[in-house]
Amino acid sequence: MSEYKAPLRDMRFVLNEVFEVSRLWASLPGLAEVIDEETAAAILEEAGKITGEVIAPLNRSADEQGCTWTNGAVTAPDGFVAAYQAFAEGGWVGVGGDPQFGGMGMPKAISAQVEEMVNSAGLSFGLYPMLTAGACLSINAHASEELKERYLPNMYAGTWTGSMCLTEAHAGTDLGMIRTRAEPQADGSYKVSGSKIFITGGDHDLTENIIHLVLARLPDAPAGPKGISLFLVPKVLVNADGSLGERNSLSCGSIEHKMGIKASATCVMNFDGATGWIVDAPNKGLAAMFTMMNYERLGVGIQGLSLGERSYQNAVEYARDRLQSRSPTGAQNKDKAADPIIVHPDVRRMLLTMKALNEGGRAFSSYVALQLDTAKYSEDEATCKRAQELVSLLTPVAKAFLTDMGLETTLHGQMIFGGHGYIREWGQEQLVRDVRITQIYEGTNGIQSLDLVGRKIVGSGGALYNLFASEIRDFVANASEELNEFSKPLNAAVDTLDELTAWVLDRAKTNPNEIGAASVEYLQAFGYVAYAYMWALMAKTSVGKQAEDEFYVSKLATARFYFARLLPRIHSLSASVKAGSECLYELDATQF
């Protein structure tokens, strides 16, 4: 596997040139005094160093070794403790955290780039700070000031980590079915009892304490999702002076043996009357947890992008070096026995597909991050509302489409390696195993598709869709003639998506099965159109700059490839959606 090199040039291009983030930051009171283009560049540069030099070298050995569970205690792979300490000392755990409690206070547009670098370097490693940041977000938004002051500084500092304890063996996505109980105590605390599964970072030896956010029911809670509360339950109790006290009544029952992300401990957690404190009000647990969901789901989408980027870097290096056969147009490397495989049309098809999907995904994830920042910091009510609605619409697309494209990209990288692609020492098969999981956790991509079509498209009567589509229409209407090769097919693609959206809205009125039948292919079509918009924006930024830097030549060539070879996929997806749900129900359940 080649050394990981953070794509800093492309990140700067997206942030500074395409989206001109410094203008946005200057207009938002909460960001104007903490971030500018120069500061952002310095942060990304340093993040590139620690991810490339400290985290990336551990990725393969950590996959080979995995986590170990012995008598209820989990041990991370060799090198992880020291690497996490170095990562925490650099302030990276709290890069997006509240400065009041020791965080760096950076916008999501910056922390998203840091997340990409960390996950490209090592997805298993990156899950520990990611879950911690998510737990901090929920605590900061909903917990009492006392809980914030007691827990957030050490979590942002990386001294303690966090976990989310949602899923139970009988209740996956349907959290309304959870059975974990919380009994109120005279001192205001609660005794939490129950078992949770699939808990990322539920136990490990990276830090001295782990702060669990646990969904549970109070004794008098109403049935279903309206009766869920959220509790902060530390692994080790914290004394009034901030020092660590006794071990809490909780344990790790086992760890899962997974196909990938093996250095990330996925735990069964047992709470046996463990002491905890309520976060927010009783029966408001799902609302408190969902505060972080848009950030977490975007974060998982970025994981797909991250592994696609790592696969691409490996594949490009291999394709330049691997000699096999001759170019169809004649020998290109006449002093050697064969040409490098990068001369072959199919290898170029795969590399360009990887490049187009990665760079389109980076722009799209950054676009969604900017909406999160706008929604959080803008003081203009209309601007804030619009950003919140875009986040609501685009979050399921970001999670599902980025990870779906991540799998396609890692598979292309594996194929370019040929036989070496499934040999562990070359690294590509690990990326495939790791990225496959991103399509499943944090809500499967099928669930994300249902969320997009059922809640966001049909649920809003198409209003949320029109918000995004009208933005693309405005871009097309104002595009110059030199952008016609991109703006015209983009306009046609939006026409196709408009028609498809209207079809779904109409059919859903009379047949509830249509939403589920259409959802996956609809989200895919939406994703390809969204990426086309991103590529049109990048082309607009690059036109006229070709003589300045070959970087812009590459951008325009990749944009042409995207519009010519990838965007047309929407037509087959549209046909699949319009085939309807009837063919899904011709078989009786016993006939499968």
The catalytic site residues sit at 442
Tokens of 444: 């499967």
**Can you spell out the DSSP letters for 374-402?**
HHHH---HHHHHHHHHHHHHHHHHHHHHH
Q: What share of the chain is helix, strand, coil (3-state, %, to 5)?
A: 60, 10, 25
Indicate the helix (H) or strand (E) that contains 519.
helix 513-542
* Alpha-helix residue ranges (DSSP H) falling in 105-213: 108-121, 123-142, 145-156
CA distance readout (Å), 340 to 52, 281, 462: 27, 63, 50
The owner of tokens 């007691």 is: 150
Which residue type, as a one-letter code, is found at position 365? S
Query: Which residue in 169, 394, 153, 188 sits closest to 276, CA to CA?
Result: 188
The owner of tokens 């139970």 is: 168
Integer Rg of the chain from CA: 24
Would you tell me how many other CB atoms lie within 10 Å of the CB of residue 380? 12
Q: What's the rounded Cα separation, in Å, for the pair 235 and 151?
A: 12
Q: What's the rounded Cα separation, in Å, for the pair 108 and 86?
A: 22
